[in-house]
Amino acid sequence: MHYREDNQQDMVYGIRPVLEALDAGHEVEKAFVQRGAGSEAFRVLLQKFKTCDVPYQVVPVEKLNRLTRKNHQGVVAYISPVAFSNIEHIVPGLYEQGKMPFLLMLDRISDVRNFGALLRTAESAGVDAVVIPSKGSAQLNSGTIKSSAGAIYKIPICRAHNLKEVIDFLKSSGIKVAAATEKTSQPYFKTDLTGPVAIIMGSEGEGVSGEYLKRADVKLKIPMLGEIESLNVSVAGGVLMYEVVRQRLNEV
């Protein structure tokens, strides 16, 4: 298996090494394939990506050359340090255990330090699983592992192609979907979060996508009393996750 020359063992390049990684059961977080490549080996690779549900992006060869100076043969893939879980399997299992699901959805969190910090807080707050989109999320790499203080290995991470479908599934499963946004007048502490709940945190620059806000059952706002208009997403996520903890502890 070929890795990049700086010895970061999260990158695999070359058609056969990538196929071998998938055959060995490794989870590919994302892959880049060269635009215009159309050999039989490439067709086999792309079919394997579809079979294994691997998100990939078609890019110019220059992009691949920037990723590695080695002979990539038109494909570079990143191996995930964790195995992804399936939210549609986790939720029924939580109910079977007599638990009230507590979930966190991350809409395009792109900074690995924010991502890792959110995972760390989620694990500490007793979140049952974290849902991320297949595209647009920060990479699960050494930076994420470090900033999560190892929480990345202790909490299920579910990858989904379509977060809208996940939201609909959660709502049909009796889970309240609460979106963090400044586009509401409802303070987070005046919302009942004691039952099954999923909190959506949005991207650092744009917040939660409008299509997800429309689907949310409730919208939560953290009052800002100073001159700065918003909190760092990992801080805001911590506030909301521990509001769920506070309310649930008060119910005991």
For residue 7, pLDDT beyond 60: no
- pLDDT tens, residue by residue, 17-67: 899 888 887 888 888 999 888 788 888 899 888 888 888 888 999 989 998
pTM: 0.81
What are the residues facing 130 on neighbouring strands?
Answer: 104, 157
Please give the pLDDT value at position 119. Answer: 94
The residue among 79, 106, 133 that closes a domain is 79
The residue among 79, 111, 130 that closes a domain is 79
Residues 97 and 148 occupy one common structural domain: yes
- Looking at per-residue pLDDT, the higher value among 115 and 24 belongs to 115
Residues 47 and 143 occupy one common structural domain: no
- pLDDT tens, residue by residue, 118-137: 999 999 999 999 999 887 77
Read off the CATH number of the domain in which 188 is found.
3.40.1280.10
Residue 137 maps to a domain: yes
Residues 49 and 136 occupy one common structural domain: no
The residue among 25, 45, 79 that closes a domain is 79
**What are the strands of the beta sheet with 176-180, ordered from one edge?**
157-160, 129-133, 102-106, 197-201, 176-180, 218-220
Cα distances (Å, whole numbers) of residue 244 to 38, 91, 184, 248: 51, 18, 19, 6
What residues make up the domain containing 15? 11-79
167, 179 contact by CB (below 8 A): no
Please give the pLDDT value at position 195. Answer: 95
193, 250 contact by CB (below 8 A): no
